[in-house]
Amino acid sequence: DQQVKQNSPSLSVQEGRISILNCDYTNSMFDYFLWYKKYPAEGPTFLISISSIKDKNEDGRFTVFLNKSAKHLSLHIVPSQPGDSAVYFCAGGSGTYKYIFGTGTRLKVLA
């Protein structure tokens, strides 16, 4: 059973526009969520996090929104840049060090 789902395997966006990556989860015990970015031939790198006591967290061009009632979170990248082209993973955790990762969304930002 996939506890964290990223239903869009890929997304293409024009440079300068907004990229919206979505993530759904089924485990109501999840209290913390992380987003990672992964370039080919590299390990994932941490991007941004959010706690369930918040509905929004912002860091520069990256904003994560959390809708607990819908068990849904999204990552917004504004403006999108070609260097943002990568695979993005969301992950959910329940107050321990163990996170469950989604299947990833490949973002392509077109110049």
Q: Which of 10, 26, 28, 45 binds another protein (CB under 8 A)?
A: 45
Give yes or no for residue 102 binding another protein (CB under 8 A): yes
- State which amino acid sits at residue 93: G
95 binds another protein (CB under 8 A): yes
Sole binder of another protein in the list 69, 70, 98, 111 (CB under 8 A): 98
Report if residue 101 touches another protein, rule: CB under 8 A. yes
CA–CA separation, 86 vs 81, rounded Å?
11
CB 86, CB 38: distance < 8 Å:
yes
Give the E-state strand segments of the chain in sequence order. 4-5, 10-14, 19-25, 32-38, 45-51, 56-59, 62-67, 72-77, 86-93, 99-101, 105-110
The residue from 46, 56, 59, 82 that contacts another protein (CB under 8 A) is 46
Is 65 a residue that touches another protein (CB under 8 A)?
A: no
How big is the site for another protein, counted in residues (CB under 8 A)? 27
d(CA 69, CA 97): 24
| Interface positions with another protein (CB under 8 A) | 6, 9, 31-32, 34, 36, 41-46, 49, 51, 89, 91, 93, 95-104
